[in-house]
Chain A
């Protein structure tokens, strides 16, 4: 047999204990018996059992009391209640207390066989669930957020605390610092972990589309709305809503969302009937929202609503100690993905990576390592594999022409703004058309 388990039979009648013991031994299970509830509890202290067959009617501690005590100590143990007294009431009570099944004695051998099949199946499902849950925790826990530096340790300590509260969280940090990963980690550690995590990049959606995505719409609400559609605020139902780049949403959308946060209900586009919603809001931005409030580009009341708990993510420049660790992590990741054996990185390469100031933060580092792994011709990454970083990006004064400096500056701003043309043009103080012309003329390209 491939599924041997440890079974304890608790019955004051020796003949019953003996019959069941003989029966289960025929399946190769490990079986022990106890003549009373007290004896069973003593044995449980010594040895773990997976399944217990417990008679209800026993002198002293009865089966129901034993079931309660056993379940208190170990909720995972499966208890099958045996009763000769045929009372459905006691069986129902046992099931409510946590019994897995019950048998009215005497029973047919195939009834016991069926109960065992069910238990083994349930146990298999539980084991698979535990494995998958552990696996899920492993991949969502902090494993995706790499770093042993002091700011990261503070972050690791903060995430579980923040996760337990239901307050709105605002994650700030430069682009590429891992705001999305932290949002996911908060969700994974929260009480809403098994409910949906819905992420929306506010910067990537025009206002009208954003409205429809968040609030949903009725059929015919606007041209092209051929079907009614639920919005993410409704779909998230009990989970976590992650609004990335919340600093980019329009003042109208800020008002609409503020209303939702206050009233906990939404009106889909074209509808006059409110729908109750329940979600935990986690937002992220790379902007200094306080500056935007001063410039009246962001509502103060909305800011305080989304900013109950603030988490600031350090830039990679502030945690240079983590660069070597991150580089090795990404090297392993892309070595695995590309099925190329690249498993070493030289000290020179690490020194080069550490001296670079990483305006695009971890995302930029990841892209750089990916590129190096893909192009590497040996199993070792050297400083030469990262030479593409030096001419364009290394900080510090160099003898450069004005045109080269201009090109470098524009490229840096574009990267910082994730190649968002309107935002980049705004920062550079030129219009979008001019920026497009420069990109075309200087053949500027987005760094992968």
Chain B
């Protein structure tokens, strides 16, 4: 069966960024990616103490929705997501699983608080999606700074990494 990756907007997400993400997935992982219809944000994901959305709960909900034509899913939201214990997250994926989640919320601000040009914002969104998808393909965080699987803790780190896998991760990638 041909693998197909589904890009699912969760809540309101600009259409163009979804297309950019899908195109980059297709280019990087050499498997087709399609943008699927929008899904609502699960209310239970909102944590009023943190004023953020729990990425784990959104992922659970993604699992409950059925996407028969896709082997792996990348959920995309404009909301600020968190993983318990961490202050925030750009993305979340269970290692070797089928479901991942990315947030655009913190990608539209530079480290100094200024707004990035739209092209940079799209680049960042695509990088986070490619990184989380890498985890779904069982890739670990990589020491090589010139690899999409290199961990980015801050927006400046994210801007440093490329759109592609290093040769080692490329070899480890299981189709």
Contacts and interface: CB of A to CB of B under 8 A. Distances in A.
Interface of A: 1-2, 13, 15-16, 18-20, 22-23, 25-28, 82, 105-113
Given A2-B143, A109-B153, A110-B153, A25 B86 contact: no
B137 interface: no
A1 B86 contact: no
A112 to B, nearest CB: 8
A109 B143 contact: no
Interface footprint category on B: 20 to 34
Contact of A106 (B56, B84, B142, B153): B84
A28 B140 contact: yes
Contact of A113 (B56, B140, B151): B151
B94 interface: yes
A18 B86 CA distance: 12
B164 interface: no
Interface string B81-95: 011111111000011
Contacts of B86: 19, 106-109, 112
B87 A106 contact: yes
Secondary structure class of chain A's binding surface, majority of residues: helix
B39 interface: no
A19 B85 contact: yes
B141 A107 contact: no
A20 B84 CA distance: 9
Contacts of A22: 83, 94-95
Interface in B128-173: 135, 140-143, 151, 153-154, 157
B83 A113 contact: no
Contacts of B87: 106-109
21 contacts: A1-B142, A1-B143, A15-B84, A15-B85, A19-B56, A19-B84, A19-B86, A22-B83, A25-B95, A26-B95, A26-B140, A27-B141, A82-B85, A106-B84, A108-B86, A108-B153, A109-B88, A109-B89, A109-B151, A110-B151, A113-B151
A107 B153 CA distance: 11
B157 to A, nearest CB: 7
Contacts of B151: 109-110, 113
Contacts of A20: 85
Contacts of B95: 22, 25-26
Contacts of A19: 56, 83-86
A22 B84 CA distance: 11
B151 to A, nearest CB: 6
A4 to B, nearest CB: 9
A18 B57 CA distance: 13
Contact of B141 (A1, A13, A15, A105): A1
B167 to A, nearest CB: 15
Nearest to A4: B140
A337 B83 CA distance: 61
B172 to A, nearest CB: 10
Interface string B64-78: 000000000000000
B143 A107 contact: no
A23 B142 CA distance: 13
B68 to A, nearest CB: 26
Contacts of B88: 108-109
Given A19-B83, A22-B95, 15 more contacts: A1-B143, A16-B84, A16-B85, A19-B84, A22-B94, A28-B141, A106-B84, A106-B85, A106-B86, A106-B87, A107-B85, A107-B86, A108-B87, A111-B153, A113-B151
Contacts of B83: 19, 22-23
Nearest to B88: A108
A108 B152 CA distance: 11
B141 A26 contact: yes
A82 B86 CA distance: 12
B73 to A, nearest CB: 17
A19 B85 CA distance: 7
